[in-house]
Amino acid sequence: MENNIIDSTSSSNSNFKNLVSWGIRILISALFLVSAYAKIYPDPSYYFSITKFEYSQLYPMGFSPELAVYFSRVLIGIEFALGFLLLFPFNIKKIVIPATIIMLAVFSIHLSIEILSGQNTGNCGCFGSLLPMTPLQALIKNLLSIGLLSILLLKFSDGIRVNNNFLAVTNITTFCVLFLFMLIPIQKKTTTVTPTTIEVSEPVVNNDVDTNTVKTTTVKGEQQTTEVKVEEPKGPAKKSSGYAKYFPKIDEGKKILCFFAPTCEHCMQTGKELTELRKADPTFPEIQIIFMDEAPEEIPAFFKFAGAEYKHMVMDIVAFWTALGSNKDTPGVVYLWNGNVQKFYNGTEGKDKFNKAELKKLVKKETY
């Protein structure tokens, strides 16, 4: 009887350890798989997402564009591999769990440096644009994961079935990395297309006038004619915005410069709202667009959805992110007045996302 009780207790403990072991492994595996997929989440395409990750996360760390395209695919491939390997018994105690802890530790050190340097706002990029997370939130997530994996090794390792098959580990890792290179091939750097003037379907407002000139309007009454002098809005002193290398006259008067990806749904909706503003107000600033070189064949469909065609250019993806600016996202809409940035909308969340009503009020301002 006593032996039966001992066997029952031992079996119960073994089942408990096995249950806890699998719970931790499945949880951490899910975190790694979601993190890897989120970095290439197709919004609007895999290539768009991975280049965004490279520009926002790897470039600030000192990676060159040439190295970043390789490192990003290897890193995401390893994340996928660890996510899968945590569910298999292959060298899980000696290699897989320690490697997972090391990767989480490296990420944590990087996040700690960002936080200490005052960069604790915005999306850290751990889960891409799929699940935005601040550096502090990501650091807490990583430390909790390290803690769980450490507990797994120290307290519940008896519940892990082990199969020492190093070849299986290397094969799964190699496959995941190569799959990333096949899914998102490294593209050769394209040449920036020069601006192309497009005839728009509605009347074009000439914004290239001297804002200090005086116009004379004649108002006819029943028996008299009254001349009313109307001064153009006095804007800020002219300065160089840095965008004149793309559109030569963009620093003259009021202009709208957009940064769009042709297949981005948010960009398409923003383009449509800008067209609505332009149709409702004939004095609305001229709209010019820089498109990312991501499915440029879809640009006609973009304009069809937006309801009008605008002067535009197509730019290499790396150059596009550089022109858009650090820590900024698509859709980007810049309101310029004599080269001075009055408002820079970007992204799809927060106070900086495009606001149609606010822009309408801003462009109506007559004085700087």
Number of domains in the chain: 2
Domain limit, last residue, from 130, 161, 183 = 183
Residue keyed to tokens 């039966």: 4
Q: Is residue 35 part of a domain?
A: yes
The DSSP secondary structure of 267-315, one letter per residue, reads: HHHHHHHHHHHHHH-TTSPEEEEEEESSSGGGHHHHHHHHTS--EEEEE
pTM of the complete model beyond 0.75: no
Examine the domain organization and report whether 165 and 224 are in the same domain.
Answer: no
Examine the domain organization and report whether 49 and 128 are in the same domain.
Answer: yes
Examine the domain organization and report whether 283 and 221 are in the same domain.
Answer: yes
Q: Is residue 208 part of a domain?
A: no
Examine the domain organization and report whether 25 and 89 are in the same domain.
Answer: yes
Examine the domain organization and report whether 176 and 274 are in the same domain.
Answer: no
Q: What CATH number corresponds to the domain at position 258?
A: 3.40.30.10
Structure confidence at residue 3 (pLDDT): 52
How many CB atoms neighbour CB 217 within 10 A?
9
| DSSP-derived secondary structure letter, 343 | E
Tokens at 356, concatenated: 């149609």
Examine the domain organization and report whether 177 and 234 are in the same domain.
Answer: no
Mind listing the pLDDT tens digit of every residue in the chain (368 residues)?
555 555 556 667 778 888 889 999 999 999 999 999 999 987 777 888 888 888 888 888 888 888 999 999 999 999 999 999 999 999 999 999 999 999 999 999 989 988 888 877 767 778 877 788 888 999 999 999 999 999 999 888 877 888 899 999 999 999 999 999 999 998 765 544 444 444 344 434 333 434 333 333 333 444 444 444 444 556 789 899 999 999 999 999 999 999 999 988 999 999 999 999 999 998 999 999 999 988 889 999 999 999 999 999 999 887 898 899 877 889 999 999 999 999 999 988 888 899 999 999 999 886 65
Structure confidence at residue 6 (pLDDT): 52
Structure confidence at residue 108 (pLDDT): 94
Structure confidence at residue 8 (pLDDT): 54
In degrees rounded to 5, what are phi and psi of residue 290?
-105, 115
The DSSP secondary structure of 240-276, one letter per residue, reads: --S-TTTSTTTTSSEEEEEEE-TT-HHHHHHHHHHHH
Domain limit, last residue, from 183, 203, 236 = 183
Q: Is residue 195 part of a domain?
A: no
Examine the domain organization and report whether 30 and 138 are in the same domain.
Answer: yes
Q: Is residue 304 part of a domain?
A: yes
Examine the domain organization and report whether 158 and 223 are in the same domain.
Answer: no
Examine the domain organization and report whether 163 and 15 are in the same domain.
Answer: yes
Query: Residues with Cβ < 8 Å from 189, sequence gap 6 or more?
Result: 316, 318
Sign, CA torsion 124/125/127/132:
positive
How many CB atoms neighbour CB 317 within 10 A?
22
**Domain span holding position 94:** 2-183
Domain limit, last residue, from 127, 160, 183 = 183
Q: How far apart are CA 176 and CA 185, in angstroms?
A: 14
Q: How far apart are CA 110 and CA 91, in angstroms?
A: 28
How many CB atoms neighbour CB 358 within 10 A?
12
Examine the domain organization and report whether 179 and 222 are in the same domain.
Answer: no
Q: How far apart are CA 143 and CA 31, in angstroms?
A: 13
Q: Is residue 198 part of a domain?
A: no
Structure confidence at residue 63 (pLDDT): 87
Examine the domain organization and report whether 95 and 39 are in the same domain.
Answer: yes
Q: Is residue 273 part of a domain?
A: yes
Examine the domain organization and report whether 123 and 271 are in the same domain.
Answer: no
Q: How far apart are CA 222 and CA 198, in angstroms?
A: 44
Structure confidence at residue 336 (pLDDT): 96
Q: Is residue 193 part of a domain?
A: no
Residue keyed to tokens 């190093």: 166
Q: Is residue 188 part of a domain?
A: no
